[in-house]
Structure 1
């Protein structure tokens, strides 16, 4: 298996977590390595990562397609119960959309810029959605459970990637959301996190 990848991309990050959860070996090809841009554009209609090329040459693009393939062909990413599976998929989608939108506002404004040039209104807007909308919704969804959807799933992989990148750029989980704090401590302590995290999120 070959993975075309970008370290800080949350879509790539969650795929790396899922691969590590299943103990799958893969060859890593950085998105910006010499000649890779042409390869990406040949393999994907958008040229974006992640892209997975299986050993038989089959190509998969789009992170959710890849995650579903991993769940279909390996263990540990979707629970057996149909309702729990639906919950996992819904929360993974929420991670990609609403959580991603909030975190992106902060990351895109801070990354690569001196602090004096930050648009603080944009950062505050993203932080407000994170704290006032995303965290309350996720805390309620997690209530009484160790992991979203009951057992560890692709929802946890997706949300772990988002929370790790949020934390790296100053979006924390404040008091009042203790179950989310415990969840993140739990999920970021799994070996899959250490294997998958980019340097900005504490990885190697």
Structure 2
């Protein structure tokens, strides 16, 4: 089976999830900068979740550019990944609801449980991405461009322990948990051109062979 329909379906799902998140953002209470400033934590939560969905879209696109066909196992692994990513708007909305709750002045929001849930969703999505990647490599073969590009996958292996650390730190101090989630996002936002390099390298070899 070709990869086109899987990519198109996944792109549509991720686009819908981003749309859902932005529609759930609260409107400012007034026409002043102060009104926006009071909603800044909510906007930052949206930005972080948007970045995470963008990271998955970017890497999903690159991964499927490196493969030629998909199997039934790949289809289910892809749906498994989309299931966990689809929960990102849910946990993001939970965090924003807590941030918007009325509370006595000086009392911090009770973000421990929502942030633990947020980290759990990120952890599960990371595991699901690894399963999809492994399933694709199995379908393509160990000598495939994707297998060569992934290599030891240090960032992928580092992300899971960091998510678990973020979950534990969210219990101790919510801000520390958020800091870890931001750190993982920064690790993945940094451009990773392994797939592009492999595809370019193989294209050069193919051109040389034809010559």
TM over 0.5: no
Coarse TM-score class (shorter-chain normalised): 0.3 to 0.5
> Where is the helix percentage greater, Structure 1 or Structure 2?
2
TM-score, scaled relative to structure 2: 0.32
> Where is the strand percentage greater, Structure 1 or Structure 2?
1
Where relative contact order (Cα < 8 A, 6+ residues apart) is larger, the structure is: 1
Which has more radius of gyration? 2
TM-score, scaled relative to structure 1: 0.32
